[in-house]
Structure 1
Amino acid sequence: MLMSGRGREAKIRYMAGTFRLLSDGDHVRCAETGVTIPLDELRYWSVERQEPYIDAAASLAAEKRAKRRA
């Protein structure tokens, strides 16, 4: 199967329990670490901040960062 978004970063709308692809791509970058996350491995994100995270630790760090700024 040919993927038109291969090698490109996707644009995504993050929702509760799911996400919607806004533009073709096969990965996103963790908002906390900058690590590339293949879309099929994306499990953590913030609906409020519209940010993806590589893992639970990065998600927690982003949450703490957001609370310090508030």
Structure 2
Amino acid sequence: MLKADSEAVLRYRSGDFEMVMPGTYVRCAVTGERIALEDLRYWSFERQEAYLSSEIATRRESEVRGPAHSAGAAGSTTES
């Protein structure tokens, strides 16, 4: 039974994700804010992290790989 307002555990893949533990939201890896599953658009399958926005995903990518590698990540749902 799914508890109302519980944190999900997801396995992020390239282009989609798999629910490991049911829930209604995940947390942004950078800000810690809740992201409702129906609003989840940005994540890294390499780092298994969710992001609240494209700006946050791009910033995180820059932190990890450096600015030269993050130019294409902003508008995408996943990393390549």
* TM norm. shorter chain > 0.5: yes
- Residue of structure 1 in register with 2:75 after alignment: none
Structure 1 unaligned segments of length 5 or more: list them: none
Q: Deviations over 1:11-42 (max 9, x none)?
A: 00000110000001100000011110000000
Identity %: 41
Q: Map 1:41-52 to 2 at 5 A.
A: 41-52=39-50
The ranges of structure 1 where at least 4 consecutive aligned residues each deviate by more than 6 angstroms after the TM superposition are: none
Q: Is the 8 A contact 1:32 1:61 kept in 2?
A: no
TM-score normalised by L of structure 2? 0.77
Q: Looking at secondary structure, tell me which structure has more strand per residue.
A: 1
**Could you tell me which residue of structure 1 aligns to residue 10 of structure 2?**
12
The separation in 1 between residues aligned to 2:30 and 2:65, in whole angstroms, is 14
- Could you tell me which residue of structure 1 aligns to residue 63 of structure 2? 65
The one-letter amino acid paired with 2:48 is Q
Aligned-pair Cα RMSD in Å: 1.3
Deviation at 1:5, TM superposition (A): 3.6
Distance 1:5 1:57 in 2: 31
Gaps of 5+ in 2: 67-80
Question: Match for 1:16: what amino acid?
Answer: S
